[in-house]
Amino acid sequence: MSTVSVKHHQMFIDGKDVDAPQAFEIRSPATEELVCTIAKGSVEHADAAVESARRAFESGVWSRKPKEERAAIMKRIADRFGEELEELIELETMANGATVRQATGFHCGLAAPHMLYFAEQAESYEFERAIPTKAYPTHSVNTIIREPVGVCAAIVPWNFPLVLGLWKIGPALAAGNSIVVKPDEKTPLSLLRAAQIAYEEGVPAGVFNIVTGDGAEVGARLASHPDVDKVAFTGSTAIGREIMRLASGTVKKVSLELGGKGGVVMMPDADLSYSIDGALFGCMLYSGQICESGTRLFVHKDKYDEVVAKLVERASTIKLGDPTDYDTDMGPVVSARQRDRILGYLDQAKADGATFALGGGAPEGPEFEKGYWIAPTIITNVTNDMQIAREEIFGPVLVVIPYDSIDHAVELVNDSEYGLTAGVWSTDYEAASELAARLRAGTVWINNWHMVDPSLPFGGYKQSGVGRELGPDALNEYTEAKHVHLDLAGRHDRLPFDLLISTPLPE
């Protein structure tokens, strides 16, 4: 009986491949087949990576490299991401179940342009600026210098590992920091390749490290490590609270991009010829496994039945199947644990009296006997206080709730512990903009969804996070502000020393 060997991947620490005695198995979410293994890192590996990152930072090999040289290397990395797009797509989709179309457009296709944006920021960011000041109490020149924080830790989720990883790696490198990245153990492969590419293109050893391991062990160690100066995390709100607690022991800088329960208002004048598809796109892209998905759709009561009928009609055409097939619209969810978690929420929704207009479980058919599948699901008879409307499901589940007036819609959208995203569908741009201004969320999309631009900030209100990623100020999260005061008085009688010492100087 022959056995098919699978590739084993190692970690990347201090410019070298590093193995571990134990390994994780990575299985296809579509077939449950073993596709590869990867080293299971430990606290010792996390410590080694941080030590390497600190050594590289203090040496100045990257932190004191001219910003133009850092930018040139980062541009080469961006070029490589474009050249190796097909390989990156394969590495990402074999582990997280994204369809090849989605991976091309989002999961991996955004890597090169987002990295290029941070490369350009490395050149254009104002690392030093003079601040005009009054002549009182003395004449002086004052400068604000933005310096790299030092060693950064990035803890990255499984849904968009490459792009969400680059949202942390890009600004960290642009600012001159060193970084240790802990990907989710289910989906580390694209980030591992990114670290290797960076090293090949001139990022010095120790500046960009990958440690794969359990979050409770390796992630917790990085968050609490005394030699880590900043931690960036994307994931659930519950884990974000723990990251913040662990980081508080050494008062390190923290940025958190956490959960969401995006509220979407479909105004009575919305053009249903595209807003129906838009609402489904906003909720069910990548099987709903996106923190910023629009999962609560609020529809005016006079349009409710019509909108639900059209949603069901269009969602019924979503083709589930092999994620490597370009014709597939939706693949599996990432794991058995995630599938069972979603099914638990659906069971609770039934118990609470909600109605399933479409879906409500696993799809039928022999092709779905293996893998982790959830059918597109649309739920009605939902009130905003039900669990299904309040907690992040992370699956292809859309709840549709009626509203009476715009004021009522605003109240419903904002009645959430989350505030990551919100949205409006309308043909009246002025009214839609006025409504958007009343929604408490870090991003409000009007007549579209998932439009994440690296030049615009992304992050959440309330329990959806702390800080912002992307945008013109992204490097602020990865730098410290230093004020340097150069006094030009030059004479004792022009200085305020007499506030303490009144005795005149001897002649």
**Are 375 and 396 within 8 A, CB to CB?**
yes
Give mean pLDDT, residues 100-106: 94
Tokens 């944006």 locate to 117
Give mean pLDDT, residues 58-62: 98
Q: Per DSSP, what are the bridge partners of residue 466?
A: 256
- Does the domain made of 13-258+464-483 have the CATH classification 3.40.605.10? yes
Give mean pLDDT, residues 283-294: 97
The DSSP secondary-structure symbol of 269 reads T
CATH fold for domain 262-446: Aldehyde Dehydrogenase; Chain A, domain 2 (3.40.309)
* pLDDT attached to residue 4: 58
Tens of pLDDT, residue by residue over 400-426, are 999 999 999 999 999 999 999 999 999
Length of the chain: 507
Give mean pLDDT, residues 446-472: 97
Positions marked active-site: 257, 291
Tens of pLDDT, residue by residue over 168-227, are 999 999 999 999 999 999 999 999 999 999 999 999 999 999 999 999 999 999 999 999
Q: What percent of the chain has pLDDT over 70?
A: 99
State yes or no: pLDDT of 257 exceeds 90: yes
In the chain, CATH 3.40.309.10 sits at 262-446
Give mean pLDDT, residues 63-89: 97
State yes or no: pLDDT of 255 exceeds 70: yes
* pLDDT attached to residue 1: 36
Query: Alpha-carbon torsion 237, 450, 332, 347, what sign?
Result: positive
Tens of pLDDT, residue by residue over 314-373, are 999 999 999 999 999 999 999 999 999 999 999 999 999 999 999 999 999 999 999 999
Let me know how many helices (H) and strands (E) the chain has, helices first. Answer: 15, 23
Strand locations in 164-261, DSSP E? Answer: 178-182, 208-210, 230-234, 253-257
* pLDDT attached to residue 192: 97
In the chain, CATH 3.40.605.10 sits at 13-258+464-483
Q: What is the mean pLDDT of the chain?
A: 96
State yes or no: pLDDT of 132 exceeds 90: no
State yes or no: pLDDT of 2 exceeds 90: no
Name all contacts of 484-493 with Cβ < 8 Å and 24+ positions apart.
484/142, 484/143, 484/144, 484/145, 485/140, 485/141, 485/142, 486/140, 486/141, 486/142, 486/143, 487/138, 487/139, 487/140, 488/138, 488/139, 488/140, 488/141, 489/138, 489/139, 489/140
Predicted TM-score (pTM) of the model is 0.95
